[in-house]
Amino acid sequence: MPYGLFIIQPWLGAGSMKILVTPRSVTKHGHPALVRLKEAGYEVVFPAPGQSPSESELLTLLPGCVGYLAGVETISARVLNAATDLKVISRNGTGVDNIDAEAARRHGIRICRAEGANARGVAELAFAHLLAAVRQVPLSDSGLKQGKWERRKGLELEGRILGLIGCGMIGRLVTKFALAFDMTVLAYDPHPNRSFKPSEQFSYVSLDEVLTRADIISLHCPLQAGGAAIIDRQAISRMKHGVYVINTARAGLMDAGAVLEAIDSGKIAGVTVDAFESEPPEDWRLVKHERVIGTPHVGGFTDASIDRAISVSIDNLLMALEAARQAEVIEPGLAC
């Protein structure tokens, strides 16, 4: 279905007709696609513009809402317990680890994801991070702005090994970019897409092989069950000396303390990050290190990605609400 073409009739006779909309890019700048919610008969509720709402704010805003177009804010069991009218949470992205899925299931709340809507934006940022890191671009630019002529050797990509942890839509795009730079790509994915065979220079391998062989490691996976970091002291000990780590996925995938130690020792030559445990971060030590490049969660922050994500998430939201209105059987807690 083309984005933005789904039309729904108002939920006639329903007691609650409110939808909470929280993605920061939308609350700050608005988006024309939101008119579709109003045309469907819903009242749109917003938090403070451009800010992720806190738990206390959600406890005030969400009760009485039947739908929730959600951003990256934490949606706790406490919040969901209070949202007695809520039927659908529609994320404007792919990740749903910010949502207490068990609480949603318990309350019969359906979770929808905007699959792949921001994949291109995130993949392009990941490769921009990679290039900036191996050629020391931010450090060189910062020095020149301070009137310093300071040069550091860079790393050419031809023949280098890029290791991917996670090879979904984003990882596959990053693979294509890397192959265009004459790199070899080794990808670990617990559910590999064997139909993806872009080149003889690409192969699926074990996680251990990615860690031990890669010159550059790029993370494109969700958090592990239980939230344990993938890049911890044990993983770092198996990596090559002078490896680069690119993280445009989730902050929790890296043990920040272990990564800082490895940077200071030279084991890790450079790190890039685009996501943080809290945003803005409470602990700035990692991102302030001169060998760390940070961006403020801008992977999907492009006009095209925002348009796709909002259109898909509104489609998902309206279709799931329509299914609930018609009293169709819905498996709660599952992706749309």
What does the radius of gyration of the chain's CA atoms come to, in whole angstroms? 21
- Cα–Cα distance, 281 to 275 (Å, whole number): 9
Which residue among 91, 220, 297, 308 is the active-site one? Answer: 297
> Is 297 among the catalytic positions?
yes
Unique residue bearing structure tokens 């031809």: 158
Active-site residue identified among 24, 250, 291, 308: 250
Q: How many CA atoms lie within 13 A of 323 on its CB side?
A: 16
d(CA 143, CA 130): 20
Nearest to 165 by CA among 234, 115, 214: 214
Residue 250 bears catalytic tag? yes
Rounded CA separation 35/217 (Å): 42
277 carries an active-site annotation: no
Residue of 55, 57, 115, 279 with catalytic role: 279
Cis, bond preceding 280 (omega within 30 deg of 0): yes
Q: Which residue has the tokens 């940022």?
A: 125
User: CA geometry: angle at 315 spanning 312 and 317, to 5°?
Assistant: 110
Active site residues: 250, 279, 297
